[in-house]
Amino acid sequence: MTISWHHAKRVTAATALTGTLSMLALGVAPGLSFAATVPNLQQDGFSQVLATQTIQPGQAATVTSGGLTVSIPANAFSTTDPVTFTLLGAPATTFDPSGTTPLTAFAFQVKDLTTGALVGQFLAPVKLSYTSSSIGSATEYWNVTPTGAMAVNPVASTISGTTLVHGIDVAMVGWVVANPAAAPDFSQSGFSSVIASANFTPGQAATVSANGISVAIPANAFNIPVTFQLLQGPIQHFVANAPSGQTPVTDFAFRVMDSATNTLVGAFNAPVMATITNSQINLKSQYEDISTTGAYAANPIAPVIKGDVMTHPIKAAAVGWVVTSPSVAAATSPVTGLPIAPVVAAGAGLLLTGIALYRRQARSVK
């Protein structure tokens, strides 16, 4: 028998700690499952015993190891039986979520000392704190099942400075704290000019705009101060790889830097809104993602187009963007393929000749 846990979409914005601790800390994405019996995670990859403590009924406790701290409230476990609480660890690279750099891996083992049984569900959540200089606004908190399957935990962690906090009320999975792979610097990939920049402060909305491109940054886009740069490159740079029948009309990318560390920030807590105004935009225009190699890929979310204005939400600086419109043949080449100016001139000459002949005939009649 297996139990599959409902998966809720991960919320990246920091939430109040009390709200975090009141929510179920375990959430496993569709396709991930684990045994109904409490697993012995020490036998499932988390083989290191980092710290252990015996906790009496009604006793609060704190278990620490390195940057990990587990604060255990007095009502977390049985009101009658003492338990041993063991903080387990594993080399971070043992569990390596795709596209990330793991920072730490840990799990819990809680044993009822009266019955000898492993405890899987807590009566109240414990508070996990992890402090590391590598923690940032984009740091992710992953579940790891006994089989090694991984998914981002659907409950938002609270990140303050270099500390991540999460509420946990189960010992059915382990966890990995990881950072997304480093964001690319698109100023080195064709978007060579900084055309606008803004210093963002958490809680204060901001806007960057230039050359018909405006980016509205909501107050909750980042939970750290950042420098948000709007980049653009020569439009000719993007012509060669453009989709057949489409011509690039404008391009842009972002470079977002942590103001404290100058490291690039790839993921946003909330989407920014890009508004592109260009006389060549029409209902057949396309919104294309551009990789660091210059390859085009149609963005899976259709833009909103009204007149010559296109809008699109953006939640990461992982690609750049090019707006294209259908290629238009030169207006001086009609269907016949003949230059239109001589045809118009000839037509005008014939018209004048006809008028002159008509006047002569009219005078001869008189």
The 10 Å Cβ neighbour count of residue 77 is 26
Residue 309 domain-assigned (yes or no): yes
* 28's tokens: 């496993």
Assess whether 30 and 133 both reside in one domain: yes
Over residues 24-65, the pLDDT tens digits come to 344 444 444 445 689 999 999 999 999 999 999 999 999 999
Same domain, 101 and 19: yes
What is the domain count for the chain?
2
Domain boundary among 180, 210, 225: 180
Residue 260 above 90 pLDDT? Answer: no
Shared domain for 216 and 163, answered yes or no, is no
Whether 198 maps to a domain, the answer reads: yes
pLDDT category at 17 given cuts 50, 70, 90 is: very low
Q: Is 212 helix (H, G, I), strand (E, B) or coil?
A: coil
Angle made by CA atoms 61, 179, 215, in degrees to the nearest 5? 120
> Does any domain span residue 354?
no
**Domain boundary residue, one of 124, 148, 180:** 180
Q: Both 159 and 215 in a single domain? A: no
What pLDDT shows up at residue 252? Answer: 98
Cβ contacts of 132 within 8 Å, gap of 6 or more: 67, 103, 104, 162, 177
Beta-carbon contacts of residue 140 (< 8 Å; ≥ 6 apart): 97, 100, 152, 177, 178, 179, 180
Q: What is the pLDDT of residues 220-258, one digit of tens each?
A: 998 889 999 999 999 999 999 999 999 999 999 999 999
What's 196's domain CATH number? 2.60.220.30
Are both 261 and 306 inside the same structural domain? Answer: yes
DSSP 8-state class, residue 223: S
- Average pLDDT over the chain reads 83
Q: Where are the beta strands (DSSP E) in 43-138?
A: 48-55, 61-65, 68-72, 83-90, 100-112, 121-131
Residues 176 and 44 in one domain: yes
Whether residue 69 is contained in a domain is answered as yes
DSSP labels, 318-335: SSEEEEEEE----TT--T
Residue 207 belongs to a domain: yes
Q: Is 355 within the bounds of a domain? A: no
Range of the domain at 230: 186-326
Return the higher-pLDDT residue of 281 and 267.
Answer: 281
In a domain, 365, yes or no: no
Structure tokens, 98:
């795709």
Q: Which of residues 163, 180, 197 is at a domain's end?
A: 180
For the ranges 62-66, 176-180, 190-194, 358-362, the lowest mean pLDDT is seen at 358-362
Does the pLDDT value for residue 334 go beyond 70? Answer: no
162 and 219 in a common domain: no
Cα–Cα separations (whole angstroms), residue 160 to 34, 132, 139, 201, 313? 32, 11, 11, 14, 26
Q: Are residues 162 and 201 in the same domain?
A: no
Q: Are residues 174 and 197 in the same domain?
A: no
**Residue 338 has what DSSP assignment?**
S
Tell whether 51 and 83 lie within a shared domain: yes
The mean per-residue pLDDT over the stretch 281-297 comes to 96
What is the structure's pLDDT at 180? 78
Phi first, then psi, for residue 119 (nearest 5°) are -100, 125
- Residue 362 included in any domain: no
Phi, psi dihedrals of residue 104, rounded to the nearest 5° = -155, 155
Work out the average pLDDT over 69-95. 94
What percent of the chain stands above pLDDT 70? 80
136 or 69: whose pLDDT is higher?
69
Same-domain check for residues 150 and 220 = no
